[in-house]
């Protein structure tokens, strides 16, 4: 992309990279040296700049804090063996970001600001991209309202920002999930398809209840009848039923996951049957009882491909007998990771070289 965008860069004089143990990275707690900021006001984005990562100063009346105009994205960058930095499918995240913005009555971000912002920031902090297997540079673009105003209306001012963090695994072990049939994540006409901050806040209490019952996460069901499987807490959810992949189609209540799409694309490319159609909880439970579900896994940027070891529904718990060596999820994950790390041909054109 030809760009005329000028990003002012102020580099840190005190890099923190020497303090990081890249062999033991937690998820989401270590932040790279720089961050990008652009401010919106008078109906345009201005002054894109990069500065040392630091705290923000906000008015106590900041309307994002009170009324929740706040959206984000997540993607990952990898280091290939020959030292290239590869960012996975950023255009998908760009498009989803603007869909989220539209729904939350926030301004659109130009492709130039989003993509060139990513490219410039990641390039500047390219030494923070861990080369180790199982690790990546997690990239977090986000936007939030900046008006200091008490009252309900769309803000007139916003900040668009990007920071990055080197990360290890989000889930260290296979997850136990519970099919949620009381609480609701999303309803038709709501904001379930958007990466709106409040969606995650609303999931915390039901997730806490599930944890008290011995589960790590939930499988959400539709908000009207709790009859159809939707997605899991931090990821889309895919089942292997009778040897075919089965997942709910994305919709206004289900996030259009980039990892979900990548996994399904690879499986189709391998000639596997992939069935994206509404999945009734009753059908899933019947299939679990009949031993037809050989595997289940989550798909998300943070979680990547996260195997599910057990599924709870009402008083029953179905143990899936997960075995890493033989699992299809391992095969899919291995292929996906190899593409992301430039170890095999990028046959779908997914990587952006930084």
Question: What residue ranges bind ligand COI (CB under 6 A)?
Answer: 74, 234, 300-302
With CA atoms as reference, report the closest residue to 250 among 266, 265, 237, 234: 237
CB of 2 to ligand COI, least distance (A): 29
Q: Could you give the angle at the alpha carbon of 252 between the alpha carbons of 249 and 258, nearest 5°?
A: 55
Identify the bridge partners of residue 177 per DSSP, sorted by sequence position: 217, 311
Residue 302 CB, nearest distance to ligand COI (Å)?
3
Four-residue CA torsion sign, 335, 339, 340, 346: negative
C-alpha to C-alpha distance for 186 and 102, rounded to whole angstroms: 17
Is the separation of the CB atoms in 168 and 24 below 8 Å? Answer: yes
Angle (deg, nearest 10), helices 328-340 and 258-269: 110
Q: Where are any strands of DSSP class E within the chain?
A: 8-9, 34-41, 44-52, 70-72, 75-79, 85-88, 136-145, 158-167, 175-179, 217-221, 229-232, 236-241, 244-247, 274-276, 293-300, 304-313, 316-319, 351-353
Which of residues 28 and 154 has its CB atom nearest to ligand COI in the complex?
28
Query: What is the DSSP track for 237-301?
Result: EEEEETTEEEEPPPBTTB---HHHHHHHHHHHHTT--EEES--BHHHHHHHHHTT-EEEEEEEET
State the nearest-atom distance from the C-beta of 71 to ligand COI, in Å: 11
Closest to ligand COI by CB, 87 vs 281, is: 87
In whole angstroms, how close is the CB of 283 to ligand COI at the nearest point? 27
DSSP bridge pairs for 262: none
Q: What b-and-e string marks burial along 237-263, b requiring 16 or more CB atoms within 10 Å of the CB?
A: bbbbbeeebbbbebbebbbbbbbbbbb
What is the pairing mode between strands 34-41 and 44-52?
Answer: antiparallel
**286/292 Cα distance (integer angstroms):** 9
Query: Least distance from C-beta 151 to ligand COI, angstroms?
Result: 30
Q: Which is nearer to ligand COI, 234 or 329 (CB)?
A: 234
Closer of 142 and 149 to ligand COI (Cβ):
142
Closer by beta carbon to ligand COI, 96 or else 313: 96
């Amino acid at each position: 992309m030809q760009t005329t965008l000028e990003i002012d860069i102020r580099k840190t004089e005190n890099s923190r990279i020497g303090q990081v143990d890249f062999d033991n990275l937690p998820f989401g707690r270590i932040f790279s040296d720089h961050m990008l900021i652009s401010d919106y006001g008078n109906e345009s984005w201005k002054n894109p700049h990069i500065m040392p990562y630091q705290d923000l100063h906000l008015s106590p009346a900041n309307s994002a804090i009170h009324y929740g105009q706040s959206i984000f994205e997540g993607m990952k960058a990898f280091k290939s063996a020959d030292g290239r930095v590869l960012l996975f499918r950023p255009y998908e995240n760009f498009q989803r970001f603007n869909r989220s913005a539209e729904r939350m009555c926030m301004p659109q971000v130009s492709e130039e600001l989003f993509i060139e912002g990513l490219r410039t920031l990641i390039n500047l902090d390219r030494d923070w991209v861990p080369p180790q297997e199982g690790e990546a540079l997690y990239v977090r673009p986000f936007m939030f309202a900046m008006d200091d105003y008490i009252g309900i209306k769309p803000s007139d001012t916003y900040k668009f920002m990007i920071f990055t963090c080197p990360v290890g695994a989000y889930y260290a072990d296979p997850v136990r999930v519970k099919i949620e049939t009381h609480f609701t994540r999303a309803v038709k006409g709501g904001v379930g398809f958007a990466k709106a901050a409040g969606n995650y806040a609303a999931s915390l209490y039901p997730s806490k209840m599930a944890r008290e019952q011995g589960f790590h996460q939930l499988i959400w069901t539709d908000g009207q009848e709790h009859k159809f499987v939707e997605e899991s807490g931090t990821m889309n959810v895919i089942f292997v039923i009778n040897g075919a992949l089965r997942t709910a189609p994305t919709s206004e209540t289900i996030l259009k996951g980039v990892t979900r799409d990548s996994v399904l694309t690879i499986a189709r490319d391998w000639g596997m049957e992939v069935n994206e159609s509404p999945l009734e909880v009753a059908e899933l439970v019947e299939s679990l009882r009949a031993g037809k579900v050989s595997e289940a896994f989550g798909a998300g940027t943070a979680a990547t491909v996260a195997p599910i070891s057990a599924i709870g529904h009402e008083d029953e718990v179905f143990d899936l007998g997960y075995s890493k060596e033989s699992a299809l999820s391992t095969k899919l994950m291995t292929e996906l990771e190899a593409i992301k790390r430039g170890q095999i041909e990028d046959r779908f054109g997914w990587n952006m070289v930084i």
